[in-house]
Structure 1
Amino acid sequence: MRARCLLMLTAVLALVVSGCAVPADAVDPPVSGVRPAVDVLSGLAKDDSIAALLPPEVRAAGVVKFGSSVGGQPPSAYYADDNRTVLGLDVDVSEAVAKLLGLRIEREVASFETILPSLAGGKYDVGTGNFGVTEARKQTIDFVTYINDGQGFAVRADDTRVPRVDSLVALCGLKVGTGAGTTFEATLEREKHVCGEAGKPAYEVLSFSENAAIYLGLQQRHIDVVMSTINGLRYAAANQPNLRFLGEFKRLDVGFALPKGSPLAPAFQAAVNSLIGSGTYARILDKWGTKDSAIPESLISPPERA
């Protein structure tokens, strides 16, 4: 019940109480540009020419092990009402790629901050969780890109202290909530010096493993600003009360994360590019309200966006 409780808490932004005593009609946020029931995968079948790019042992096994981070809301990855089925853009792109490659995904849900280290340790073949491509991560991880998302900010709608964030100096003196192990956390920690250089008090970084805790902290005024994904914040602002999206801060390519030098990368890249060419990719993004995040071509470990 833990993940289901978090989803309900995120949707209604209630105070934390024991159990999950939330009215049944309050647990599902209104849909804004998201259509989870749309079928975008049923027409896909194995493409032998793309599957031939897989290592022989992977083709023979027919299985690829995924470590996946699952949040509390669309569009990336979240739990359906049964608290077991994982839905979202990450899931649809993954399943579409697997279909073209003739593979079955063996998915294990894991906390965001543990997935990349687990790839290097051989626990998973692939990681998903809206992993942005950065030069630091590329030292130990390869990426096969499939969407362009990035970093953004949100505040309570009744908080007028920060109209937007063009520079992290706008955060000075505030408490900023973000996800543990994310590019957001790394950016905030790396750039803390900007406040001192501007003669202002430093901002405080509060990191959490669960998105629900971040949004609850914001509404309970333990946090002043949220830093998270552009697409996630846009959805949250459209579906949660008293939440205002401040806009984009930095764009990042997002991709499947693989161990450095993984032989799976060329096959995954070819599969994503096939989906782009066939129009299936556009239909997946349309389903999850993320058409503005489309990429023209999948790349393997491209340079980090400036």
Structure 2
Amino acid sequence: MTTSTSRTSRIPTRRTALGAAGIIVAAALLGACADPGPTAAPTVDPKALGDSKVLPVSFDTSASATRVAGVAHPEIAATLPAAVRASGRLVIGSGGAGGGIPPLAFTADDNKTPIGVEVDVAHLVADVLGLQADVQTTSWENLFIGIDSGKYQVAISNVGVSEERKEKYDFATYRLGLHAFEAKKGSALVVRGPADISGKRVAVGSGTLQEAILLRWNEANEKAGRAPAELVYYQGTTEYYLALDSGRIDLYLGPNPTATYHVVTAGKTQIVGTVSSSYPIPGKVGVLTKKGSGLAGPISAAINAAIADGTYGKVLARWGLTTEAVPASEVNPAGLPKPAAK
């Protein structure tokens, strides 16, 4: 799970196709979700499958780019814990360390200014709450350590809602967690479910949630009498894209935000379908707070205010992620199920 900045969670899975086991470095840094649920898939929620939306022509990655400003709502700010209101700032952990992962949280062209959809959401939430956003970049694992220790009041870093995480943290959702199927530009392929990958060569990262979804889809294909997809593994994203370009693979399944950024900046591929990071239920990404901190409710209300006035939509459109928009923010909705007991 979910750059997944966000991280694609690694999980033990049964591999059904030959290929060199590899780790997609960028996808491994994308942390939207925890371990997947049982192999036997329940009824699929239609919202767990999606369609691509029109993407921007380019991204403005300059440090001077104008950020979408939020509208202050004193009535929502009044519901914050007193200590937070008194401090006048919201301390936000962001997983943009080491240059980050575009378009989630990364470094602008000046090599120092944090930018990306997660950074914009952090400032938007703080604006609505009448607070100063104090965005501090760190590594993925330190996000959780920082929340636990009180160093960060919230983490906004493409963290996917999971039942396991909800035992320790509260969430206020602000995006869907999606994976995207990339194909070579001009491809006529459309992927909406298992039948669409039957007989195709599909590249995926070893041990990722994306792989778990494809394994589940292959089981569905085999039960329906269809040929399974051949899963192909490489060592890094460059190899995946070279394989797409040369026609050695038909599809590559990776995190939707990074796929979106690649499609726009490289211009050689297109997104031909999306699937929930928590398939077969809709995956949701949330602002992470310490459980019982009293922050999740006001933050969710702030996000809903931004949805209502259109500023939320502008933030997602700026980074080409309108396909991940939520109609409303929720506090602690159903998340990725825990693994089935063995």
Give TM-score, length-normalised by structure 2.
Answer: 0.62
In the alignment, which residue of structure 1 is the partner of 2:237? 215
User: Structure 1 residue 32 and structure 2 residue 95: aligned?
Assistant: no
The root-mean-square deviation of aligned C-alpha atoms, in Å, is 3.9
Q: Secondary structure of the residue that 1:268 maps to in structure 2?
A: helix
**What is residue 272 of structure 1 aligned with on the other side?**
303
Partner of 2:211: 188
Distance in 1 of aligned mates of 2:125 and 2:298: 9
The one of 253, 261, 265 aligned to 2:284: 253
Is the 1:33–1:287 contact (alpha carbons within 8 Å) kept by the matching residues of 2?
no
AA matched with 1:65: V
* Equivalent AA in structure 2 for residue 32 of structure 1: V
Superposed CA deviations along residues 114-136 of structure 1, whole A, max 9, x for unmatched, are: 42354234342211222222333
Which moves more between the two structures, 80-89 or 167-176? 167-176
Q: Cα–Cα, structure 1 residues 194 and 232, in superposed 2: closer, same or farther, change >3 Å?
A: closer
The counterpart of 1:102, out of the listed 118, 125, 130, is 130
Q: What residue number does 2:335 align with?
A: 304
Is the Cα–Cα contact under 8 Å of residues 101 and 258 in structure 2 kept in the other structure? Answer: no
Against the structure 1 CA distance between its residues 170 and 77, is the aligned structure 2 distance closer, same or farther, given a 3 Å change threshold?
A: farther
Instruction: Rate the CA distance shift 1:101–1:38 in 2: closer, same or farther, 3 A.
Output: same
- Quick one: percent identity of the two aligned structures? 28
State the distance in 1 between where 2:331 and 2:168 align: 14
Residue aligning to 1:93: 121
Alpha-carbon contact 1:120-1:260 (below 8 Å) kept: no
Q: Deviations over 1:183-204 (max 9, x none)?
A: xx24635875876895989957
Instruction: Tell me which residue corresponds to 1:78.
Output: 106
- After TM superposition, the structure 1 = structure 2 runs for residues 284-303 of structure 1, keeping only pairs within 5 Å, are 284-303=315-334
Is residue 234 from structure 1 mapped to residue 260 from structure 2 by the alignment? Answer: yes
**Aligned match of 1:112:** 140
The equivalent residue for 1:150 is 178
Contact 2:204/2:210 (CA < 8 Å) preserved in 1? no
TM-score (normalised: structure 1):
0.68
Q: Which residue of 2 aligns with 1:52?
A: 78
- Tell me, in whole angstroms, the C-alpha distance in 1 between the residues paired with 2:232 and 2:293: 38
Rate the CA distance shift 1:154–1:177 in 2: closer, same or farther, 3 A.
farther
Displacement after TM superposition at 1:142 (Å): 1.7
Indicate how the Cα distance of structure 1 residues 283 and 192 shifts in structure 2: closer, same or farther if over 3 A, else same: closer
CA apart distance, 1:256: 0.8
Cα 1:226–1:128 change in 2 (3 A) is farther
Cα separation, 1, equivalents of 2:141 and 2:230: 25
Q: CA deviation at 1:147?
A: 2.0
Give the CA deviation at 1:216. 2.3
**Shift of residue 276 of structure 1?**
1.7
* CA offset digits 1:244-284 (Å, max 9, x no partner): 43421224222211122221111111111111222222222
Match of 2:158 in 1: 130
Change (3 A) 1:201 1:277: closer
Quote the Cα distance in structure 1 between the aligned partners of 2:139 and 2:166: 20
Relative contact order (C-alpha < 8 Å, sep 6+): which is higher? Answer: 2
The alignment partner of 1:131 has SS state of coil
CA distance in 1, matches of 2:151, 2:199: 38
Decide whether the 8 Å contact of 1:51 with 1:267 is kept in 2. Answer: yes
What CA distance in whole angstroms lies between the structure 1 residues aligned with 2:146 and 2:239? 29
What letter is aligned with 2:237? Y
